[in-house]
């Protein structure tokens, strides 16, 4: 590999911006830079990297067909926080429901991110606005919600009596109530 | 101060300002002095080195005490080493003067080795100075996507919790067996007829296996006794706080 | 050019840090990454750019003989004091090593900031504690140290074999280490 071509290759590699032949010449004294660029461009044809010209400036870039390799997604299973679970339950039992109503039912304010998490999970969606002062957004559950929780429809949600029978409506014991109060809305 | 110049040119010129500030400790000074002998560190004359060191300290113009302490400790040790080396060999000495001298040489060699190693490291082809990484890497991105998880049980339990939390609280006081005051007054008054002498108040309480009832009966009987005493129908006596409370009919 | 080799080339080229074969494998599904790396390294021999391995991680960098073209200033990227340079050398050649041992070799206490500077540069790290009285912290070098100084591994440290053979890297005898320790380490 000829010295000029090597030099141009190194200069372009280390540069933080695309360079014009004149700028390259500031680093590489003498020689036919245009020819060296042409040689290099050809040499990299078919590589995972290519040398490209854009508006008279040259730079290396990864081959476009390999762009997908540079991004990698990782799925991380995450458990829904208690606040988000309560919020989801309220939406499911009362939909369509406004944020203020959710807070009234929970008895605790909900933080900004809570509904966002439910939307990101694909379990809650906005469902228009209530025609009342301020026209607040309404929230409802999605088909994905029904699927994830194994429900044929919202009518399959256990009723209050079912919950009572299952012991899920028993008054809190004091200790738990206290820990709830002090924890507030944790997410 | 450039050390090479100092040693090669001026020797121990009185006109030079000597100070300890330029040295990184006594070992550093010793090593530089040893180097000035221009022989392999293993061949240096320890005696000559000791002389050089002591002479340097003597000629050092400004000795700042806070930095001089280490140098003076080393000087004392070297003076001791020198006397050991000069005196007739004591076969009992442990470690022997030769062993001490060897250890000093070894310490100088270690420092010398690390000093050279440092210089060689710094002189390597270093990234950002001699070799360069790519100037504008696209970067590899890791996109995290959360797959949220929950279970029907958690959902229902959460709703149950919300409902339970916001349910209006109802307070029901469970039934408890108590002895009413009227009943106690009647009972104490009736039993007082049989009380010839002082009797403990507990004796007026009906025996019961129900501890709560027994407590209530005791409390009511006490109040009954106070009421009867106010009416002048009985006398109360107690020797001290928490002592047994005793009752008898008024005389 | 084979697809795997192209992919590895693109990933390494795009990466902003040196990558281990395992990290490369996260982007490039399947195939013999080690073989691809060897192919690539050979292919770049004599180029203005080369593929190098440092402490098990790979990256592209410009060829050392072209330094004069690329150096904008003669200034070193990070100028270390003499104390810090010696300290780094001692850590590298003796690791893992305690502060007292470093001081014993240098024959002088090291000031508070010296090791900090090396840690800040990303060249030194703490490496647990020695199970001896006082449980002193141990120091060692980092992968970034190898990368920066162009060392494939610690075995490539200049002259390390000779120093070892001369006994100059042996643990200090206790007396020497102790005489310094009793003077008190101030932090």
Task: Give chain B's end-to-end CA distance (angstroms, integer).
Answer: 116
Task: Quick: pLDDT tens for B73-120.
Answer: 888 889 888 888 888 877 777 778 888 888 888 899 999 999 999 999
Last residue of a domain, one of C53, C72, C91: C72
If asked whether residues A51 and A7 sit together in one domain, one would say: yes
What is the 3 state secondary structure string of chain B? CCHHHHHHHHCCCCCCCCECCCCCCHHHHHHHHHHCCCCCHHHCCHHHHHHHHHHHHHHCCECCHHHHHHHHHHHHHHHHHHHHHHCCCCCCCCCCHHHHHHHHHHHHHHHHHHHHHHHHHHCCCCECCCECCCCCCCCCEEEEEEEEECCHHHHHHHHHHHHHHHCCCCCCCCCCCCCCHHHHHHHHHHHHCCCCCCEEHHHHCCCCCCHHHHHHHHHHHHHHHHHHHHCCCEEEEECCCCCCEEEEECC
Choose between B15 and C12: higher pLDDT: C12
Nearest to A16 among B136, B155, B156 (CB): B136
Q: Which residues of B fall below an 8 Å CB-CB distance to A?
A: 132-136, 138-152, 154-167, 169
CA B217 to chain centre: 57
Nearest to C27 among A1, A11, A69 (CB): A69
Average per-residue pLDDT in chain B? 80
If asked whether residues C133 and C164 sit together in one domain, one would say: no
- How many other CB atoms are found less than 10 A from the CB of residue C120? 11
If asked whether residues C125 and C180 sit together in one domain, one would say: no
Q: In what order do the strands lie in the sheet with B245-249?
A: B199-200, B245-249, B234-238
d(CA B42, CA C130): 32
A-B Cβ pairs (cutoff 8 Å, strict): 130
Q: Tell me the shortest Cα–Cα distance from A98 to chain B, in angstroms.
A: 16
CATH of the domain at C104: 1.10.10.10
If asked whether residues A64 and A13 sit together in one domain, one would say: yes
Longest dimension (CA), chain B: 128
Q: List the beta bridge partners of residue C51.
A: C60
Nearest residue on chain C to B124, judged by CA atoms? C149
pLDDT at A126 over 60: yes
Are C18 and C57 spatial neighbours (Cβ–Cβ below 8 Å)?
yes
Q: Tell me the shortest Cα–Cα distance from B146 to chain A, in angstroms.
A: 5
pLDDT at A161 over 50: yes
The CA–CA distances, whole Å, from B7 to A57, B18, B36 equal: 56, 12, 7
Last residue of a domain, one of C72, C90, C111: C72
A70 and C10 within 8 Å at the Cβ level: the answer is yes
d(CA C178, CA C174): 6
A121-125 contacts, C-beta under 8 A, 24 or more apart? A121/A80, A121/B146, A121/B148, A123/A88, A123/A148, A123/B148, A124/A88, A124/A91
In a 3-state reduction of DSSP, which class is residue A140?
A: strand
The CA–CA distances, whole Å, from A44 to A183, C16, C117 equal: 60, 21, 41
For the residues B33-49, what does the mean pLDDT come to?
84
Tokens 């027994």 locate to B214
Q: How confident is the model at residue B10 (pLDDT cuts 50, 70, 90)?
A: very low
pLDDT at C96 over 90: yes
Q: How confident is the model at residue A88 (pLDDT cuts 50, 70, 90)?
A: very high
- How many other CB atoms are found less than 10 A from the CB of residue C45? 10
Task: Quick: pLDDT tens for C10-66.
Answer: 999 999 899 999 999 988 877 899 999 999 999 999 999 999 999 999 999 999 999
B162 and A105 within 8 Å at the Cβ level: the answer is yes
Lowest-confidence range among A129-143, B4-18, B98-112, C84-98? B4-18
Tokens 């939909």 locate to A95
A76 and B155 within 8 Å at the Cβ level: the answer is no
Please tell me which chains touch A, using 3 or more CB pairs under 8 Å as the contact test.
B, C
The CA–CA distances, whole Å, from B25 to B21, B68, B111, C46, C103 equal: 9, 9, 11, 47, 10
Nearest residue on chain A to C71, judged by CA atoms? A27
Q: Which residue, among B204, B205, B210, has the nearest Cα to B191 in the 3D structure?
A: B204
CA B158 to chain centre: 41
Torsion sign (Cα): C126, B131, B117, B56: negative
Choose between C157 and B19: higher pLDDT: C157
Task: Quick: pLDDT tens for B123-173.
Answer: 999 888 888 888 888 888 777 777 888 888 888 888 888 888 877 666 666
Domain that holds residue A68: 3-72
Are B89 and B96 spatial neighbours (Cβ–Cβ below 8 Å)?
yes
**pLDDT value of residue B136:** 85
d(CA B201, CA A67): 95
Rg of the Cα trace of chain C?
20
The CA–CA distances, whole Å, from A42 to A2, A39, B211 equal: 14, 5, 101
Question: Could you give the percent of chain B with pLDDT greater than 90?
Answer: 8
Q: Between residues 44 and 83 of chain A, which touch chain B (CB distance below 8 Å)? A: 59-62, 70-80, 82
**pLDDT value of residue B113:** 94
d(CA B143, CA B141): 6
**pLDDT value of residue C72:** 63
Q: Tell me the shortest Cα–Cα distance from B9 to chain C, in angstroms.
A: 24
Torsion sign (Cα): C21, C25, C27, C32: positive
If asked whether residues A167 and A144 sit together in one domain, one would say: no
If asked whether residues A86 and A32 sit together in one domain, one would say: no
- How many other CB atoms are found less than 10 A from the CB of residue B204? 23
Torsion sign (Cα): B40, B45, B49, B50: positive
If asked whether residues C90 and C68 sit together in one domain, one would say: no
**pLDDT value of residue A186:** 41
Task: Quick: pLDDT tens for B161-174.
Answer: 888 887 766 666 66
- How many other CB atoms are found less than 10 A from the CB of residue A118? 24
d(CA B22, CA B3): 9
Nearest residue on chain A to C72, judged by CA atoms? A27
**pLDDT value of residue C75:** 52
Q: How confident is the model at residue B6 (pLDDT cuts 50, 70, 90)?
A: very low
Number of domains in chain C: 3
Task: Quick: pLDDT tens for B202-221.
Answer: 888 888 878 888 888 889 88
For the residues B23-39, what does the mean pLDDT come to?
86
Nearest to C27 among A10, A11, A72 (CB): A72
If asked whether residues A67 and A84 sit together in one domain, one would say: no
Torsion sign (Cα): B33, B37, B41, B46: negative
Last residue of a domain, one of A72, A99, A114: A72
Q: Which residue, among B84, B135, B66, B74, has the nearest Cα to B108 in the 3D structure?
A: B74
Choose between A162 and B31: higher pLDDT: B31
Calculate ∠ Cα C72-B116-C91, nearest 5°. Answer: 90
A149 and B157 within 8 Å at the Cβ level: the answer is no
Average per-residue pLDDT in chain C? 86
B140 and A72 within 8 Å at the Cβ level: the answer is yes
C108 and B134 within 8 Å at the Cβ level: the answer is no
If asked whether residues C63 and C86 sit together in one domain, one would say: no
**pLDDT value of residue B215:** 87
Are B28 and B111 spatial neighbours (Cβ–Cβ below 8 Å)?
yes
- How many other CB atoms are found less than 10 A from the CB of residue A10? 26
Q: How confident is the model at residue A171 (pLDDT cuts 50, 70, 90)?
A: low
- Beta-strand ranges (E) seen in chain A are 49-54, 57-62, 71-79, 97-98, 124-129, 137-141
Tokens 């599904």 locate to C29
Tokens 């042409």 locate to A38
Eight-class DSSP state of A65: G
C159 and B24 within 8 Å at the Cβ level: the answer is no
If asked whether residues A67 and A88 sit together in one domain, one would say: no
pLDDT at C151 over 60: yes
Q: Tell me the shortest Cα–Cα distance from A26 to chain C, in angstroms.
A: 9
Is residue C25 less than 8 Å (CB to CB) from chain B? no
pLDDT at A68 over 80: yes
If asked whether residues C91 and C68 sit together in one domain, one would say: no
Q: Tell me the shortest Cα–Cα distance from A177 to chain B, in angstroms.
A: 8
Please tell me which chains touch B, using 3 or more CB pairs under 8 Å as the contact test.
A, C
A127-131 contacts, C-beta under 8 A, 24 or more apart? A127/A95, A127/A96, A128/A96, A130/A96, A130/A98
A88 and B145 within 8 Å at the Cβ level: the answer is no
Would you call A122 exposed, middle or buried from its count of C-beta atoms within 10 A (0-12, 13-18, 19+)? middle
């Amino acid at each position: 590999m000829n010295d000029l071509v090597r030099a141009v290759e190194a200069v372009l590699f280390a540069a933080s911006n695309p360079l014009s032949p004149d700028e390259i010449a500031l680093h590489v004294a003498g020689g036919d830079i245009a020819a060296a660029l042409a040689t290099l461009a050809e040499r990299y044809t078919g590589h995972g990297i290519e040398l490209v010209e854009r508006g008279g400036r040259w730079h290396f870039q990864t081959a476009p067909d390999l762009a997908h390799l540079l991004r990698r997604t990782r799925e991380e299973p995450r458990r829904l926080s208690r606040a988000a679970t309560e919020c989801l339950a309220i939406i499911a039992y009362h939909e369509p429901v406004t944020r203020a109503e959710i807070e009234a039912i929970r008895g605790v304010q909900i933080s900004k991110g809570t509904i966002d998490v439910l939307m990101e999970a694909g379990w809650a969606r906005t469902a228009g606005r209530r025609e009342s002062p301020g026209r607040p957004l309404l929230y409802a559950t999605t088909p994905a919600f029904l699927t994830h929780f194994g429900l044929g429809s919202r009518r399959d949600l256990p009723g209050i009596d079912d919950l009572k029978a299952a012991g899920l409506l028993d008054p809190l014991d004091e200790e738990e109530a206290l820990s709830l109060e002090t924890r507030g809305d944790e997410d | 101060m450039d050390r090479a110049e100092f040693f090669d040119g001026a020797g121990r010129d009185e006109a030079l300002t000597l100070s300890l500030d330029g040295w990184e400790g006594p070992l550093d000074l010793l090593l530089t002095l040893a180097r000035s002998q221009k022989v392999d560190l293993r061949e240096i004359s320890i005696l000559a080195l000791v002389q050089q060191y002591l002479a340097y300290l003597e000629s050092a113009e400004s000795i700042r005490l806070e930095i001089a302490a280490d140098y003076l400790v080393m000087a004392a040790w070297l003076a001791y080493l020198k006397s050991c080396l000069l005196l007739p060999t004591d076969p009992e000495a442990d470690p022997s003067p030769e062993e001490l001298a060897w250890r000093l040489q070894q310490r100088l060699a270690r420092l010398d080795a690390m000093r050279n190693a440092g210089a060689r490291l710094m002189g390597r082809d270093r990234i950002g100075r001699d070799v360069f990484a790519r100037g504008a890497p696209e970067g590899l991105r890791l996109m995290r996507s959360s797959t949220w998880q929950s279970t029907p049980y958690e959902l229902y339990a959460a709703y149950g919790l919300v409902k339970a939390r916001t349910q209006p609280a109802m307070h029901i006081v469970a039934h408890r067996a108590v002895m009413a005051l009227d009943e106690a007054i009647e009972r104490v008054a009736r039993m007082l007829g049989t009380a010839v002498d002082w009797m403990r108040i507990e004796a007026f309480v009906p025996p019961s296996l129900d501890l709560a009832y027994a407590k209530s009966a005791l409390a009511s009987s006490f109040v009954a006794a106070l009421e009867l005493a106010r009416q002048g129908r009985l006398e109360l006596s107690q020797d001290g706080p928490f002592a047994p409370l005793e009752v008898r009919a008024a005389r």
